[in-house]
Structure 1
Amino acid sequence: MNGNKRRLLILLFACLFCAAGILAVTLESDAGADVKQHIILHLQLPMITTAALVGAVLCVSAGSLQIVLRNPLADPGLIGISSGASLVAAVLLLLPGLSVAVPFQYLLPLGCFIGALISTFIIYRIASRLQGAAMAVILAGITISTLAGAAIAWLYMFSDAQSLRNLTFWLMGNLYQTDWHVLAISGPVMLGSIVFQLRQAKALNWLYGGDVAAAAAGTSPQQLSVHCLLAAAIGVGAAVAVAGSIAFLGLLVPHLLRLTIGFDNRRVLPAAALSGALVLLIVALLTELTASVTFPVSMLTATVGGPLMLYALYRGQYRL
């Protein structure tokens, strides 16, 4: 077994260990057997599934976007994919009376998913008019993110304190706002996005040599870029819909992996999926161990990831 396969197995077993730890916290509680069973089946297992899928799709999408856009700053949050979802969430959470509606727990994920797709469609149309230039995608995404942020700021000014608290908590990421009914729809979407992008790993390697080299290898660079962009948008839209906006995770993980295991996307993307799942499972485990405090996911990922990113950049020169 070579070193790369060994690393992937270590990441996989680490994910399973964290998942088992989350379940063990419940089993060691003083609750009755029926209560424990209900907590595990209807709270813990959906949370574990959400953490694994969301972490995996965010990191895989960021890893592929950084290649197709030729920019190490490419990230689902930075290029605007999450902005549409956040704006729709703000509207739904801040409208008076809507948050107490019975189907709201299903209306919010659906609205966020539609918002993410709309923002992606706008980015794609603008980039198409500019002949699919990678910089056009990034600039369009930054512009949409800025506009969405401005709209959310205006909504803040006309909302009550409780609605503002709900929105702030959602925008910082939360693994507890989903259930099996939501995952039955969003889970296959995220899993399909992950599988599709993993299957493009070899073709993504050809883009390192430029469009001419990729075309000579038998692939269409523009078609590959569009397919990866759409797959990332769909997967990230589903992730944001069930877990809110999670910062810095997609930007951090692929960078660290390329600095440690190289630039072959056939190794980087699977490792990114497992690493992203592991990070969010660790966040979930920490939250379970400190039951009196529910940590916003973005607060932990940014607090821990920022210093790690600076250290990685200090230790080695990074470039695509």
Structure 2
Amino acid sequence: MKLRRRNYKKNEEIENFWPSFTDMISTIALILFFLMLLAYIQNIITGKNLEFAKKQIIDTQKKLEESNAEISRAEKKLRLLKDKIDEAKAEVKRGEIALKLSEEQIEKQREIIAESNRELGELRTKLQGIAVLRLEVLQKVKGSVEKELGKTNERGEELVLISDNGNIIINENLVFDFGSYQLKPEGKKLLNQLAQAFERVLDDKSIRANIDAINIQGHTDHIGSSQNNRDLSAKRATAVVNYLMSSNKDLENKYGKYFAASAYSEFRPITNGESEGDRAKNRRIEISITLKDSNVQKVINDYLDESLDIFNQEN
């Protein structure tokens, strides 16, 4: 009996062991299952995270490439800008050089202009000197007449006067009666002095060197036809020249070649007034001095030659 109880007990213990082992294996399997499930879930999550990370890396890479491209473009623009700046600097440098050259040329031109102005001033002075000579001759003639006959006649009329154009004017009333070309006695007296005065002036060789002609001009008023007035003015001018030569043979013999007669009729009036006083002013004998063009031209040629020499030296 005792043996049976021990076997029974032993069998009972063996039966109790296997359910416990099975439960343990089940528990371990369940744990492993959960662990595998967790690992699987973790792999899924990790895979998604990895995909996301890859995508971020790709996006970052793209952005980096775009940034690199933008940097390259910026660098290219920077190089172009630098090239432009270098070109601008070079242009500024060339401009500075050109400006300096221009300033030097301007200064040189100023010197040339100053020299030209000086030479033009000298030329003007010489030409004025020649022009003044004409007036001086007539003033000497006028002064010589006034020294012998006075400035006015008995009626208070000026014997001779210098007009605005630098010519000697003789009042027609002093020499001719109205409408006549016959010399009046007081006119002859005046012309006698003129003949002597012209001889004394022309005796000066330096004066003669610049005189081409002494022109005796006849002028009338506008009354009557221009043909009659032209004829009358021509006869009066000729009468004056003839009397000057006849009253002083030395003047004719020595300097007759300088004297000429011309007629202007009514076409060069002193005044356009219609009064008798105005018309009387227009009826006149006018004496002008014509200077030699060659002398004036010589002064100009000398100036041009000097200017050409300076130009040739500069070049």
Q: Which TM class, normalised by the smaller chain length?
A: under 0.3
Higher relative contact order (CA 8 A, sep 6+): 1
- Write 1 or 2 for the structure with the bigger share of helix: 1
Q: What's the TM-score once normalised by structure 1's chain length? A: 0.23
Larger Cα-atom Rg: 2
- Write 1 or 2 for the structure with the bigger share of strand: 2
